[in-house]
Chains A and B, each alone.
Chain A
């Protein structure tokens, strides 16, 4: 046969595979406002950069008449490409083919591209859109999931792993995104839960819709399982493109440096921070007055809003920012915010991204609720994460830093490399009001006018202790700086920390309070 005939045969086979589940299935997908798997990959990756592999893999099912069915690519598309020049391995489940259900061959394709990513040391992006395990393939489907979860774990901290939930992701399947570094959800399209509403109704009698149980908003706002929330698939892809610009390809590289740019918005920090200590402000305004071009990609924006985490650049270099948010719950640390911060700190540490911590918190959230939820254990995660992190760590104490909160927010004692404090910083065991009540209790009780005495003692305490100079006297603060100099100090600190090396005793790994 001539080459031309062989080529037409190839093209015919490719056309068949590209059809996916057929026009009807594609229409059904579109009617739900969802793009097809290939459309998603092509929208996310640079034009003409996507190369598909394993298009002709066929499924392994033998029982229940499966051998009579043709499932193109076994319902998943895998390949490599670039995002703004940044190389990635990618897979996208095809809901039009057998509901995107996972069979043995389907899982094998995913495992193959994941192992490829680990070998080539490039990030892996997984687009999830699947009805779950292909029941006809029985335990082979479970085997497939197990194989994937193992690779998720092995790749964790080696290459960045991104999950995009663009459809149902239920039951065992949802553990894969849970093991990855960043989860993207889209309103009304993403669904994540372990047991669905039908099972919950049967076993427990509780009625709840899929959207209310595990929809995008629930995952972004209540559970914190989702790191990025978008209202459309296209918006989601734009978020992914922004995220990859801040992180390196693998754990042995640093993120790509960009040209140095000054912040676009120059806020007068005096105007942002209120004179009264107990009045709130939005710490993101401070962040944007420090970062290059005032750009800040917030992570988990809608969850545990009392702490703000995200990526920015200083002098062209990627940084991870952790900042208390006085505008929500007075910026206290609690169970959810501790979890949110700790995981982010560990991601940055795994991928050589320096950490900048902005501190303004009155302490931990008091309450029986918090105690019963185990705030002791969860709060400890932040201490563990900061202590273990060996990337350059820079801290700026802006206002309040009381008690345990002062220690936890990357203090000198957790081996921050540079601790700067503003003149407005108050570093103390607790605030003047609480402290005066304890230390001067006798004087207040025995005074002629206790209220007057209390006020006086509070002023005395404030004068003496509610400032950065006591800590500075002990060397716990490296420099007291003016807020307007913050960016300048941080950029210098970053530049000089390029070759930071820390030697710790060998261990297989620690035992953090999971």
Chain B
């Protein structure tokens, strides 16, 4: 039985060295490249993204318009259905980033509001 050369900390393809903190301790470790890239719900309610890809069919608001929480902003056609995109917060329409007829991929910025 030989004492083979131990290959400490061999690299793994598509992984990078970094630190992870668990309970106040920093561990030196490898991270997969796609780590943390799974999408989560955006925290900022003034930013309205397309949660699914689709086509803009109708836009109900104009720049400067005051809107209430729950008010319709636009119609996004996807999966053969018309989805009403509403605002979760009251505010004023700041910028409308799309036009009727645009085919948008997932996560596209649709509308930005200001308080």
Contacts and interface: CB of A to CB of B under 8 A. Distances in A.
Given A329-B31, A437-B24, A206 B12 contact: no
Interface stretch (A63-71, A173-181, A426-434): A426-434
A222 interface: yes
A326 B29 contact: yes
Contacts of B89: none
Interface in A401-448: 402, 430-431, 433-434, 437
A367 B7 CA distance: 32
Contact of B20 (A305, A332, A373): A332
Give chain B's interface residue range (CB within 8 Å of chain A): 35 or more
B69 interface: no
State the majority secondary structure of interface residues on B: loop
Contacts of A285: 6-7
B10 interface: yes
A405 to B, nearest CB: 9
A506 interface: no
Contacts of B27: 278, 280, 326, 330, 362
B91 interface: no
B103 A402 contact: no
A327 interface: yes
Contacts of B15: 305, 328
Contact of A433 (B8, B25, B34, B55): B25
Interface string A310-328: 0000000000000000111
B63 to A, nearest CB: 26
Contact of B30 (A278, A329, A431): A329
A279 B103 contact: no
Interface in A343-370: 362-363, 365-369
Interface in A237-271: 262-268, 271
B106 interface: yes
B106 A206 contact: yes
A366 B4 CA distance: 37
B22 A280 contact: no
A203 interface: yes
Contacts of A434: 23-25
A474 interface: no
A198 to B, nearest CB: 15
Contact of B23 (A222, A267, A280, A363): A363
Give chain A's interface residue range (CB within 8 Å of chain B): 35 or more
Interface string A357-394: 00000110111110011000000000000000000000
A262 B1 CA distance: 9
A327 B38 contact: no
A369 B38 contact: yes
B24 A329 contact: no
A363 B54 CA distance: 41
A282 interface: yes
B26 interface: yes
A279 B105 contact: no
A22 B6 CA distance: 53
Given A206-B53, A369-B36, A327 B25 contact: no
A205 B103 contact: yes
Interface string A204-238: 11100000000000000110000000000000000
A266 B1 contact: yes
Interface in B58-115: 78-80, 103-106
Contact of A203 (B7, B36, B38, B80): B80
A275 to B, nearest CB: 13
A272 interface: yes
A204 B1 contact: no
A277 B29 CA distance: 12
Given A204-B52, A204-B54, A327 B6 contact: no
Nearest to B22: A362
A265 B4 CA distance: 7
Contact of B3 (A204, A267, A362): A267
B22 A328 contact: no
Contacts of B2: 265-266
Contacts of B14: 221
A281 interface: yes
B53 to A, nearest CB: 5
Contacts of B106: 204, 206
26 contacts: A203-B80, A204-B52, A204-B54, A204-B78, A204-B106, A205-B55, A265-B2, A265-B4, A266-B2, A268-B3, A279-B28, A280-B9, A280-B28, A280-B29, A281-B9, A282-B7, A305-B15, A305-B30, A326-B27, A327-B9, A327-B29, A328-B15, A330-B27, A363-B23, A369-B40, A430-B23
Given A267-B3, A278-B27, A330-B29, 9 more contacts: A203-B79, A206-B53, A280-B27, A282-B8, A285-B6, A327-B30, A330-B27, A362-B25, A367-B36
- Going nearest first, the 5 A-B pairs with the smallest beta carbon separation are A434-B23, A330-B27, A266-B1, A433-B24, A362-B22
